[in-house]
């Protein structure tokens, strides 16, 4: 039985159980299924043989590899399954069939795509992630969520269409759809697929769908969304474009720009969305350095994978804590929150653990994960990129390490006294927090960072790296403690910008305001100009007809008087003569 | 003696889940666990202790750097206190940029005319507890 289960893509099981969940009316039965599904998935993954085509099919003469586990996608798939389990537990206080089912189908699609061995299978599940996840935004039930979900769907589908375009070129040139790394963006289809990945990974200027939609999703939906789409894109990027230097700069920019938006953003779930963008930047940068022929290139790939694993857990934890706050207080706006440590102590502790992890404090998961990337970038000599990542590390502390917990749970007391989060939410947060700590500790009894490093794509290189050196701890603590000191001083001297309600403009202004405004203006102008132009053309045509008729009709000017009549007779006579001559000449020629 | 309210049922006779009673906490009260874990937060001396504690730790970290022979891949990063300087500077720049950026980029809450984005499953939005 376990041998059979080891040959089925666990994502398929999650998708099927998710779809079954849509029609199971009994809340506890449905939610039991949602918890069992990722556990089954983990069992299946544990029994899967690596680097073998475990499940294949053929369609339209194309060989499809539906399930293939390798040293890279294993850790992503495992992280997706853990996230699916946490999400299912976190959602237990709600009775929402659509949300439960679609959340699991979405997780399943991401898992299935992660283990896809060919581009067409990847495409199918790439699109399924888009279609299933949109419901998590729609279920928020607001007008804003509706518009955001439509924009989200359009952009995600665009990503899918670009992927399909790229696949067509790849198939035409190689006659194979097996997932293999490109060597250049000039290869047929590479640029299309690169753009498709760029949209889903939220590259700079392609990122707005993320900050637009995630903060408008349901309490549970935002947690679910945070785990899968962008990390699936990171995995795809790692499989197809490792060592592409352009990714170093794209990633470095991705780590920097969200820091500035997060500083002035008031909605704490949107701050987390910007923070997500920033964290994915580290992974993309690592993939750019990951020339797999070199030792440090492989270390960089380890960095991307370790960061993705740690990030999926601590980002989910932070979204869960903000979700709990939103669920209990009805707001996630920094200017309306504060002092919640008095009534939500457990949520506060879990949020602080998530904050410490994402800030990469020693003994937390971010510390052992991010340092792999930083070391690889430094070793390969990318000074500017390294300084940018170091700047972004202080920025992460600002927006996720301090801003989120400080303004929600401490800071100015909002006077809100609410109940602690429901038990299921606390349980999910507790498990996530435990993983953040267990992964971040020195190796002991098979746990600690050694456990994570052994799961990485290149465990030999990973285990050759020591995160807990005096030098590394000292430099990291210098960075973090002096940044905390800066925060305290800026607050003390009133130099920290106050949290104000408002909409912060981002580059989506170009299509949400400028583009929409232009389309509205063009439509208004056309609505007025169209009938006017019709009237003008009708008038001109009518007048022209009148003039022509006046001149040439039987009643017209040219038909009147002896001259016109004579002309007609002469014309008929000349035509008759011409015909006669032609008959004669043709007859003579014969 | 307080009156016990009968559990609510819907028209089919099934029990309806009612809102949980709010925790009886006044503005001056704290969750019992909060008192244990965070009772120190509201103490008067806490901000000063935090400030001076952080300063002391920061100074200590820079001083330790002088006693350590670091071997960073980036030569300039071996300069004593480089990470401290970078952390302080980066944080301050990021935060202080919030003043001009806020003025430049902040618009009204309903700038895009799509209404409030608070989801319906949040408290007080109709479907939350």
Provide DSSP, B26-93: -TT---HHHHHHHTTTTSTTHHHHHHHHHHHHHHHHHHHHHT-----SSGGGGSTTHHHHHHHHHHHH
Q: Is A424 on the interface with B (CB under 8 A)?
A: no
Amino acid B2: pLDDT = 43
Beta strands in A10-49 (DSSP E): none
Of the residues A98, A258, A485, A517, the best mutation for testing chain B's interface (the one with the most B CB atoms within 10 Å of its CB) is A485
Amino acid B5: pLDDT = 56
Amino acid A574: pLDDT = 87
Amino acid A568: pLDDT = 72
Least Cα separation, residue A45 to chain B (angstroms):
34
Q: Which of B83, B107, B128 sits opposite A475 (nearest CB)?
A: B83
Q: Is B61 on the interface with A (CB under 8 A)?
A: yes
* Range A282-304 burial, b when 16+ CB lie within 10 A, else e: bbbbbbbbbbeebebbbbbbbbb
Q: Looking at beta carbons, which residues of chain A come within 8 Å of B77?
A: 378, 475
Look at A395 and B22 and tell me if their CB atoms are within 8 Å: no
Residue whose pair of structure tokens reads 């607001």 in the numeric block: A142
Least Cα separation, residue A387 to chain B (angstroms):
9
What value of ipTM does the predicted structure carry? 0.86
How far, rounded to the nearest angstrom, does the alpha carbon of residue A452 sit from its chain's CA centroid? 25
Tell me if residue A506 falls in helix, strand or coil. Answer: coil
Q: What is the dihedral of CA A89, A13, A17, A325, to 10 degrees?
A: 20
Q: What is the pLDDT of residues A185-197, one digit of tens each?
A: 999 999 999 999 9
- Taking 50 as the pLDDT cut, the residues of chain A under it are none
List of residues 6+ apart from A136 with CB closer than 8 A? A99, A102, A103, A106, A217, A218, A220, A221, A222, A224, A225
* Range A314-351 burial, b when 16+ CB lie within 10 A, else e: bbbbbbbbbbbbbbbbbbbbbbebbbbbbbbbbbbbbb
A55 strand-pairing partners: A67
Among left, alpha and beta (phi > 0; psi -120 to 50; other), residue A94 is beta
Least Cα separation, residue B126 to chain A (angstroms):
10
Amino acid A269: pLDDT = 97
- DSSP-derived letter for residue A68 is E
- Taking 70 as the pLDDT cut, the residues of chain B under it are 1-10, 12-28, 125-129
The answer to whether the CB of B19 falls within 8 A of the CB of B129 is yes
CA–CA distance, A421 with A455 (Å, rounded to integer): 33
Amino acid A122: pLDDT = 97
List of residues 6+ apart from B26 with CB closer than 8 A? A417
Q: What is the pLDDT of residues A128-178, one digit of tens each?
A: 999 999 999 999 999 999 999 999 999 999 999 999 999 999 999 999 999
Q: Is B46 on the interface with A (CB under 8 A)?
A: no
Q: What is the dihedral of CA A210, A216, A219, A224, to 10 degrees?
A: -20
- DSSP-derived letter for residue A330 is S
Q: Looking at beta carbons, which residues of chain B come within 8 Å of A470?
A: 68
Of chain A, the percentage scoring pLDDT greater than 70 comes to 97
The answer to whether the CB of A31 falls within 8 A of the CB of A91 is yes
Tell me if residue A102 falls in helix, strand or coil. Answer: helix
CA–CA distance, A234 with A76 (Å, rounded to integer): 9
Q: Is A528 on the interface with B (CB under 8 A)?
A: no
Tell me if residue A447 falls in helix, strand or coil. Answer: strand
CA–CA distance, A194 with B13 (Å, rounded to integer): 57
């Amino acid at each position: 039985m376990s041998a059979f289960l080891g040959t089925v893509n666990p994502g398929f099981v999650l998708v099927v159980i998710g779809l079954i969940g849509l029609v199971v009316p009994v809340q506890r039965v449905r939610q039991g299924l949602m918890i069992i599904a990722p556990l089954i998935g983990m069992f299946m993954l544990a029994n899967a043989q690596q680097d073998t085509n475990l499940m294949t099919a053929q369609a339209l003469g194309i060989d499809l590899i539906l399930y293939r586990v390798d040293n890279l996608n294993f850790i992503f798939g495992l992280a997706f399954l853990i996230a699916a389990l946490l999400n299912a537990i976190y959602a237990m206080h709600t009775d929402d069939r659509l949300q439960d089912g679609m959340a699991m189908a979405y997780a399943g699609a991401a898992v299935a795509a992660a283990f896809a061995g060919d581009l067409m299978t990847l495409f199918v599940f790439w699109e399924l992630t888009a279609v299933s996840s949109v419901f998590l935004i729609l279920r928020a039930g607001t007008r804003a969520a509706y518009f955001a979900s439509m924009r989200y769907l359009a952009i995600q589908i665009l990503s899918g269409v670009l992927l399909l375009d790229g696949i067509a070129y790849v198939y035409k040139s190689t006659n194979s759809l097996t997932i293999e790394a490109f060597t250049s963006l000039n290869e047929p289809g590479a640029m299309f697929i690169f753009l498709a990945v760029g949209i889903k990974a939220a590259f700079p200027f392609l990122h707005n769908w993320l900050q637009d939609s995630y903060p408008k999703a349901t309490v549970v939906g935002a947690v679910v969304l945070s785990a899968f789409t962008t990390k699936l894109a990171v995995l795809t990027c790692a499989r197809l474009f490792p060592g592409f230097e352009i990714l170093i700069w794209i990633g470095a920019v991705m780590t920097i720009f969200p820091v500035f938006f997060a500083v002035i953003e008031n909605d704490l779930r949107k701050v987390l969305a910007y923070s997500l963008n920033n964290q994915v930047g580290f992974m993309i940068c690592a993939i750019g350095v990951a020339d797999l022929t070199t030792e440090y290139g492989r270390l960089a790939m380890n960095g991307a994978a370790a960061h993705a694993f740690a990030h999926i857990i601590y980002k989910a934890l932070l979204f869960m804590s903000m979700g709990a706050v939103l669920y209990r207080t009805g707001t996630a706006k920094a200017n309306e929150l504060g002092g919640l440590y008095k009534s939500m102590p457990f949520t506060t502790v879990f949020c602080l653990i998530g904050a410490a992890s994402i800030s990469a404090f020693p003994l937390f998961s971010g510390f052992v994960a991010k340092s792999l990337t930083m070391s690889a970038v430094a070793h390969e000599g990318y000074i500017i990129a390294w300084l940018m990542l170091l700047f972004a590390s202080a920025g992460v502390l600002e927006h996720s390490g301090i801003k989120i917990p400080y303004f929600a749970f401490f800071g100015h007391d909002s006077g809100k006294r609410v109940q602690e989060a429901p038990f299921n939410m606390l349980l999910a947060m507790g498990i996530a927090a435990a993983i953040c700590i267990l992964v971040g500790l020195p190796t002991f009894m098979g746990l600690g960072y050694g456990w994570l490093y052994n799961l990485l794509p290149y465990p030999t290189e990973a285990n050759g790296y020591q995160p807990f050196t005096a030098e590394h701890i000292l430099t990291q603590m210098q960075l973090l403690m002096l940044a905390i000191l800066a925060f305290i001083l800026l607050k003390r001297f009133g130099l920290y910008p106050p949290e104000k309600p408002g909409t912060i403009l981002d580059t989506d202004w170009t299509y949400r305001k400028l583009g929409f405004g232009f389309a509205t203006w063009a439509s208004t102008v056309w609505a007025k100009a169209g009938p006017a132009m019709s009237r003008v053309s009708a008038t001109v045509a009518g007048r022209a007809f009148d003039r022509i008729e006046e001149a040439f009709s039987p009643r017209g000017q040219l038909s009147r008087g002896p001259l016109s009549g004579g002309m007609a007779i002469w014309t008929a006579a000349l035509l008759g003569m011409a015909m006669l001559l032609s008959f004669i000449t043709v007859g003579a020629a014969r | 003696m307080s009156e016990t309210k009968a559990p609510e049922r819907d028209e089919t006779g099934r029990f309806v889940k009612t809102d949980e009673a709010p925790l009886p906490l006044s503005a001056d009260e704290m969750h019992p666990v909060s008192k244990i874990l965070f009772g120190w937060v509201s103490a008067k001396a806490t901000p000063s202790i935090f400030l001076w504690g952080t300063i002391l730790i920061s100074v200590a970290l820079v001083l330790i750097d002088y006693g350590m022979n670091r071997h960073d891949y980036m030569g300039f990063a071996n300069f004593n206190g480089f990470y401290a300087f970078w952390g302080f500077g980066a944080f301050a720049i990021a935060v202080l940029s919030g003043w001009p950026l806020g003025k430049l980029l902040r618009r009204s809450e309903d700038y895009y005319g799509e209404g409030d984005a608070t989801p319906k499953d949040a408290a007080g939005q109709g479907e939350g507890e």
